[in-house]
Structure 1
Amino acid sequence: MMDSMTQKAGIIAAAAFGVVLVSTSGYSSVSAQGLPEGFKKGELAAEPSAEMIEAGKRVYFTKCVWCHGVDGAGDGPGADRLWPRPRNFNQGTFKIRHTASGELPLFDAKKPIPGQNDLFETVTHGLPGSAMPPWEGILSEEQRQQVLSFVTTQLVKDRKFTDKQSESQTVLQLADLKPKPATDESKKRGGELIVEKKCVECHGMEGRGDGNAFNLKDDWGFSIQPANWHKCWNFRGSRQDPYNVSNIFRTFSTGVNGTPMPSFADNTSVDERWDIANFVNSLCERDPLGNPLPIDPLTDKPKINFVIPSDMVEGEIPTDLEHEAWKKAPKRYVAMGGQITHKPRNFVNRLDDIWV
């Protein structure tokens, strides 16, 4: 059976008292080539053809303009009613990547290969936990490549994907990095590392995104909240595969551009990043046997079972939620939708589900 939340919180709390005094300075995880461990130099892709760009323009102004706006500034008609707000393409700041912190994401108009085409994967799978939907099944593979050709050449205005003088790509070789087994030892070390590396300051002692870092803003000045590690289906970069530990490893390795979430590639080893990823992955809600919850592909949330069974119980019903009787009872997930947010009543409701 899966460890209880009390046990998991205890790992973090113990780490806080036993590891927090360890200095994080003076440590560098750099290869002989001067690159962070697990990274290699990549090559910038060639410019898409004029035909690809023009075809992508038609796709953009049919499907994308409503959120991202005419000039790609994230100010379309629906933008004020969405949280997080749609991406502003103009600065060339993209969150989910295999490239080093601050670098442009991978995109090649000729190669929609998993792990080698970040923007294509984002459009294909969407960004769970946001209003960005998966476009697979709506747009063909060719149309997805076309619209990205338009976005990267015409709407990214401050940078250029093919500029070899100003841009470079340092690529995480995720396909070559075998995940570390999620042993108790690995998860324990990961729990210590999230304190040592000060992850808890934003994500909280229980990993619920409720740390002491208040009023966080993204690079565009909008409110941003740390991820709740117990809801892996809301991880933007989960690629509709929320329990895949490799996606968590990628985020810790590359950081999330445009947000306070940094890369940890320079001050952790590959082995340590797998420990962190294993620990974070262990916090995500599972069934009583420790199996991943089934995810509804239409909502990217746990499937809802509206039938809540009941049984006769002999004796008193325990009031302690950590009692063994409650651990054995299956939980039912009920998704909730926050109210529309619009200035000046611009609040964000983080209560997006209840468990019965």
Structure 2
Amino acid sequence: MTRDPSPVPPLPPVAPRLLDWFDAHRRDLPWRADRDPYRIWVSEVMLQQTTVAAVVPYFHRFVAAFPTVAALAAADEQRVLKLWEGLGYYRRARHLHAAAKRLVAGHGGALPDDPAAWLALPGVGRYIQGAVLSQAFDRRLPIVEANSLRVLARLFGYRGDPREGAGKAWVWAAAEAVLPAERAGDFNQALMELGALVCTPAKPACDRCPLAAACVANRDALQEQIPPPKKQPVVTEVSEVGVVVRRGGKVLLCRRPADAGRWQNMWEVPHAERLAGEPLAESAVRVARALTGLAVTPGAEVATIRHSVTRFRITLAVVGATAPRGAFAPGAYAEAKWVTPDELADYPVSAPQRKLMTHLASGGA
């Protein structure tokens, strides 16, 4: 059972100083040009677990393709996933698309100033609710993410882990306690900006911080101890085999089912875990037969792709193969298409698969 959070101790008012700093130092980001709730929403979904620098070009492309919630709702999911390709965590894109459809169906395409309506949408939790409603409508709702969490923990000198359990409840209470009655959205952004630019994980620039005089961690020289380091998961090494099945100058591309655990509805060459001690050619034959129903003749290894997913570090050995006859059997995959190397760029794929597609399109064997 999660215990009640420790009480949030009083602090001198910090909002005026932080807002003055934000007005002077805020970065010129495209979603800050106005208070359009749609643009704010898209940016906040993209920024979850992704850096600002990585998001900016994706944001420009996405809102150019889907300038309104109605345009996003009307889009084909494959196009949405294609424009998201490379950002990772593709469930965010699917939730964004599904939520847009609900907003059009239930709210006429308007983004409501209604906390309950937002929490009813796919992919929306307390953070997205607070970020959109505070920035677009100046609702007095707090937000907590990695940067603001660090600022708040240091500011109050909180020695527990604010990422989980009672600490998580505490940091949300702290975020609400410091929130001003006006300019709540700017204050939320200022907390994040301060964490990104000044109150950094290592070697924070306390001499440039507008809140240094009120900060308990700065007073007690605890910046390096607060918050405590994240618990690192045990990394598991995984060996996989992928099969580039060719027929008549084309490559077999398969679409993952909608209920796949990862990369739902995205495309790839068939691949699966390689058995311990299994020769690569035998592994390719087995995987192709199991996933596509095709009997293939394996050839040489054409690429090795290394990537990580959560706590798994994966080495994907890719084998070229031919299948002059036989029909694809759906089951493991929802569907498959024979495509030319030049057409590989048209399909939404994961980052490791994109490396492979680029290799194949450039003439890789």
TM-score range normalised by the length of the shorter chain:
under 0.3
Higher relative contact order (CA 8 A, sep 6+): 1
1 or 2, which has the higher helix percentage?
2
TM-score by length of 1: 0.23
Q: Which structure is larger by alpha-carbon Rg, 1 or 2?
A: 2
